[in-house]
A and B are shown apart, each in its own frame.
Chain A
Amino acid sequence: MSSKDKNEKRKNLKVIQFDKDKNTLIESSQPKETFEDVGGLDEVKKKIKMSFILPLQQPEFFQAYGKEAGGSLLLYGPPGCGKTYLAKAIAGEIDANFVHLELQAILSMYVGQSEHNLHDVFEKAREQKPCVLFIDELDALGGNRHNMRQHHERMLVNQLLIELDGLHSFNEQVYVIGATNTPWYLDPALRRPGRFNHLVFIPPPTLEERETILSLKAQGKPQESLNLNKLAKKTNHFSGADLGQVIQDAIDVVLQKSLEVGELLPLTNDSLLKALKGRKPTTLEWFSSAKNYATFSDVNKDYQQVLDYIHENKVK
């Protein structure tokens, strides 16, 4: 491999995902992210490193204490809080390719629109190893079989279990990461050892993280000196996507005014605060559901950390 190739490999992430219009898997190249690029989430990153990345990088340490590498990782939490970004960063961290299985691809498997079935996707990941196979919206693919009336729906969950169980024999260097907003809908069989046994809660951004996200979203736009710390303080419980929407709303208003007066007007603190008035954190609805599941339906106490988060952060 030439140094140019090596450099290319370091910089870029090979991404394979389903193209709905072409009804097939397509490859693309995206800038590689690592944990350094993920602002905040220190506790989450530490947990992922300890339970997932280090056992792969330094297996001898873990074997000495009887801990095996492998198993899969399940990221869960409110929507828009960076689960997909984090999965890509994990791929970057272990220098792997990235197969992204998302809702439209899963849907095409259910309704027979695609020639590609789940086995093909796993095979593709095996061909590209080392590879992170990221299953977004895992609840759609691995829902509880008790709630499924259609035979073919149950078959797809069974197929997923078979593919995951091949982890030790055929899936060497294939690392499966699932993400879901509703982990309580997953089939319990998916949570057994060797499958999605590492459960990681991805919370909404903290104050510092919100300030960083706001500054990234506003970057490169005409702006006066912005007090983003003040805005971050007013956006408790907002997800990253919610913050992006606030900036977008403010930009829309400023752009419209700019067109009216015929000159570029800057984003101002006032325009951001006005945009904020029209938005509420979308995570609250998620926390309301999660609280109910954690309180009444969580026999194994899997979601205790959600209750702790709610309590510590006074989520209402």
Chain B
Amino acid sequence: MNVQTTSAINQLIQWGKYKEAIEEIEKYIQNDPEESLGYALMAKVYTQKDDYDKAIYWVEEALKKDPEDALAWELQVSIAYTQEKWREFNRLVDDAFRIFPTESHFYYLKANELSSRMKFKEAMEQMEQALRISPKYALYLANYSYLLAHLNEKEGSLQYEKRALQEEVEDSSVFMYLAWSADRRGDHKIALSYFENAIRLNPNNNQVRDEYLESLQKQYFFYRMLIYPSKMFAKNRYLFLVLWLVAAFLFRPLILLFIVLYIASHWLTKLLVHVKIFGWSFSQR
């Protein structure tokens, strides 16, 4: 492929000029239909447009031309991860480890999948592998800080937080991990400041917005008190369930009162945050 053409297409994708990028890629595919990269770039455009059905179609076309096209593999694993198709993700990521053993991104995705199932120790092993390949990548350092916070290793978590910030201060994903990490350590004010950075950099991301607004809710002490049991659940779900069942049996009225207070505090803090950010207009969100 002509290097200038590839650069031009990648530049258009980076600018978010997808219509123009698609036109350039179509011309490229017409000129060089046997080259897998054209199809993979088309998949990249549709992935960025969140049009995963079309992205998968183009990934398959790329892999027909070259079963080991690196971009097509990165995209198909990432799409399975984003769509939370975990069985497919695990099958694909295992193959990706075998074909691309030095590609750190796959270990990072696998670590995230494991931590979403609260398998933090296993997730750490995957992140350590990613960090061996890319030791200064801020996203991985921030992710590692988050995993350490989950394992109550406060000092280590703070150390990796510092390292991540030394490397990168303009990436919303880095700030998101650092915010979760701080939140996990109980540093709610620091968490809020990281969420503020994340939303300043990427206010269009739904997850960033929702988590920022939730972190504002957590600034209210009474709400933090009432969500404390959910933190216990995250730490030891079995012990929590046993305690909950015993409490439900012995103090049923108190449990009902707790549930009512929890729901009331959730909606009250949500209302307070909404007014703070959007004013009294309720058509804003």
Q: Which chain B residue lies CB-closest to A289?
A: B204
Distance of A135 from chain B, by nearest CB (Å)? 14
The answer to the question of B257 belonging to the interface, with a C-beta cut-off of 8 Å to chain A, is no
**Chain A: interface residue total (CB-CB under 8 A):** 24
How many residue pairs between the two chains, A and B, have CB atoms under 8 Å in the bound complex?
50
User: Is A103 an interface position by the 8 A CB rule?
Assistant: yes
Contact B283 A316 (CB under 8 A): yes
CB atoms of A111 and B11 under 8 A apart:
yes
A242 to B12, CA, bound (A): 23
A292 at the interface (CB under 8 A from B): yes
Q: CA A311 – CA B212 in complex, angstroms?
A: 23
The one of A112, A137, A314 in contact with B17, judged by C-beta atoms closer than 8 angstroms, is A137
Set of chain A residues within 8 Å of B12, measured between Cβ atoms: 107
Instruction: Judge if B200 is at the interface, Cβ distance under 8 Å.
Output: yes
Contact A295 B17 (CB under 8 A): no
- Asked if B30 is an interface residue, CB under 8 A from chain A, the answer is no
Contact A297 B8, beta carbon cutoff 8 Å:
no
Question: Is B238 positioned at the interface, with any CB of A under 8 Å from its CB?
Answer: no
Cα–Cα distance between A314 and B283 once the two chains are bound (Å): 8
Are A111 and B8 touching (Cβ within 8 A)? yes
Return the chain B residue nearest A144 by Cβ: B170
CA A311 to CA B283, docked complex, whole Å: 8
Query: Which residue of chain A has the shortest Cβ distance to B198 in the bound complex?
Result: A296
Does A139 sit at the interface, judged by CB under 8 A? yes
Q: Do A103 and B199 touch (CB < 8 A)?
A: no
Residue contact B11 to A110, C-beta cutoff 8 Å = yes
Q: Which residues of B contact A297 (CB under 8 A)?
A: 199-201, 203
Q: Bound complex: CA of A291 vs CA of B8, how far in Å?
A: 30
List chain B residues, Cβ under 8 A from A146. Answer: 170
* Complex interface: chain B residues within 8 A of A139 (CB): 15
Docked complex: B170-212 residues within 8 A CB-CB of A:
170, 199-201, 203-204, 209, 212
User: Is A147 interfacial (CB 8 A cutoff)?
Assistant: yes
A292:B204 contact, CB within 8 angstroms: yes
Shortest distance between the CB of B265 and any CB in chain A (Å): 24
| B residues less than 8 Å from A137 (CB atoms) | 15, 17
State A112–B204 Cα separation when bound (angstroms): 32
User: Which residue in B8, B199, B200, B204 is a CB contact (below 8 Å) of A107?
Assistant: B8
Does B20 count as interface, using CB distance less than 8 angstroms? yes
For residue A235, give the distance in angstroms from its CB to the closest CB of chain B. 21
| A113-B8, A146-B170, A295-B277 known; A103-B20 Cβ under 8 A | yes
- Extra contacts, 13 of them, besides A111-B11, A297-B199, A316-B283 (Cβ < 8 A), are A110-B11, A111-B4, A111-B8, A112-B4, A137-B17, A147-B170, A292-B209, A293-B203, A295-B277, A295-B284, A296-B200, A296-B277, A297-B201
**Cβ contacts A to B, 18 pairs, < 8 Å:** A103-B17, A107-B12, A110-B7, A110-B8, A137-B15, A137-B17, A140-B17, A143-B15, A182-B16, A291-B284, A293-B203, A295-B203, A296-B200, A296-B203, A296-B209, A296-B212, A296-B277, A311-B281
- Chain B contact residues, CB within 8 Å of chain A: 4, 7-8, 11-12, 15-17, 20, 170, 199-201, 203-204, 209, 212, 277-278, 281, 283-284
